[in-house]
Amino acid sequence: MVKIVGKFPNESLPLYSCLNNYMPKNQFKRGELYSFITGKASTAISRRLQKNFKQAGVDITIEQWSVLYHLWKQDGLSQQQLCDATFRDKPSITRLVDNLEKLKLVKRVASKNDRRINMIYLAPGAQSLQEQTMDLANQTLNEALVGVTNGQIEIAKEVLQVVYDNLK
């Protein structure tokens, strides 16, 4: 019986050992779990973007911005479509839309075809944030990618897309 519980190399059979012994295609060394690496980078970018928003006087969260981002791409999405686009659950999207409504950045409109479905539309105040926040997002990505070549970026995008496609 394999015991996976354990925080230190001396305890039982730690997770990295299981991955290396039972998943021979795993190319990561001890302590380099893939999700940890990508999660760490994603968190660092999100924190920097939030900091850049704050310094620029943009008073929305990264989570709220992600909803606005998808509405800028296509206005008038249902709450379920926003869930799918942002990989968030329904209660989270409901809370985010509630808060964006309070900020007068979006408005809910009952669907003409099905009143149970709320369509989310950008309010005029959201349009004025688009250019500023997209510029800040580009600035943040440029900060994050200092020293990374275009070739490395393309390889990373390809690898992450394959991983995503394998698991969706």
Average pLDDT for the chain: 84
Range among 95-104, 111-120, 154-163 rated most confident: 95-104
The predicted model scores a pTM of 0.75
Of 105-109, 122-126, 164-168, the poorest mean pLDDT is in 164-168
- As given in the structure block, the two tokens for residue 112 are 């003409």
Q: What domains does the chain contain, in order, with CATH numbers?
A: 1-31 (no CATH), 33-143 (1.10.10.10)
